[in-house]
Amino acid sequence: MTQHSTGTSITFDRATKTYPGAAVPALDALDLEVEAGELVCLVGPSGGGKTTALQLVNRLVDLTSGDIRIGDRSITDQSAIALRRTIGYAIQQSGLFPHYTVADNIATVPVVLGWDKARIRTRTAELLELVGLSPVETWLPRYPAQLSGGQQQRVGIARALAADPPVMLMDEPFGALDPITRVAVQDEFLAIHRAVGKTTLFVTHDIDEAIKMADRIAILKPGGKLAQFDTPANVLSDPADDFVAEFLGAERGLKRLALTTVGEIVTAGTTGAKAATTDGARPSTTGWPDVEATMTLREALSVVSAARADGAIVHSDGSRLGEVSLHDLIAPPAAGEDREGVRA
Ligand X SMILES: Nc1ncnc2c1ncn2[C@@H]1O[C@H](COP(=O)(O)OP(=O)(O)OP(=O)(O)O)[C@@H](O)[C@H]1O
Catalog residues that contact Mg ion under the rule CB under 5 A. Answer: 50-51
**How are strands ordered across the β-sheet holding 225-230?**
87-91, 167-171, 199-203, 39-43, 216-221, 225-230
Q: Does 170 bind ligand X (CB under 6 A)?
A: no
Q: What does the longest C-alpha to C-alpha distance in the chain come to? A: 75
From the list ligand X, Mg ion, none, partner contacted by residue 315 (C-beta under 5 to 8 A by kind): none
* Cβ-based nearer residue to ligand X, 162 or 235: 235
Select the residue whose beta carbon is closest to Mg ion and give its number. Answer: 51
Measure the CA–CA gap between 35 and 33, rounded to whole angstroms: 6
From the list ligand X, Mg ion, none, partner contacted by residue 26 (C-beta under 5 to 8 A by kind): ligand X
CB of 36 to ligand X, least distance (A): 25
DSSP output for 276-310: -STTSPPPP-TTPPEEETTSBHHHHHHHHHHTT-S
Write each residue from 199 to 228 as x if it is in contact with ligand X (CB under 6 A), else as -, in one continuous string: ------x-----------------------
Q: Does 26 bind ligand X (CB under 6 A)?
A: yes
From the list Mg ion, ligand X, none, partner contacted by residue 234 (C-beta under 5 to 8 A by kind): none
Q: Does 46 bind ligand X (CB under 6 A)?
A: yes
Measure the CA–CA gap between 170 and 173, rounded to whole angstroms: 6
The strand pair at 65-70 and 225-230 is best described as: unpaired
Single residue of 1, 4, 6, 19 touching ligand X by CB under 6 A: 19
CB of 51 to Mg ion, least distance (A): 3
Measure the CA–CA gap between 293 and 290, rounded to whole angstroms: 10
Q: Does 50 bind ligand X (CB under 6 A)?
A: yes
CB of 39 to ligand X, least distance (A): 18
Burial environment of residue 255 by CB neighbours within 10 A (0 to 12, 13 to 18, 19 or more): buried
From the list ligand X, Mg ion, none, partner contacted by residue 48 (C-beta under 5 to 8 A by kind): ligand X
Check residue 144 and report its DSSP letter: G
Positions touching ligand X (CB under 6 A) are: 19, 22, 26, 44, 46-52, 205
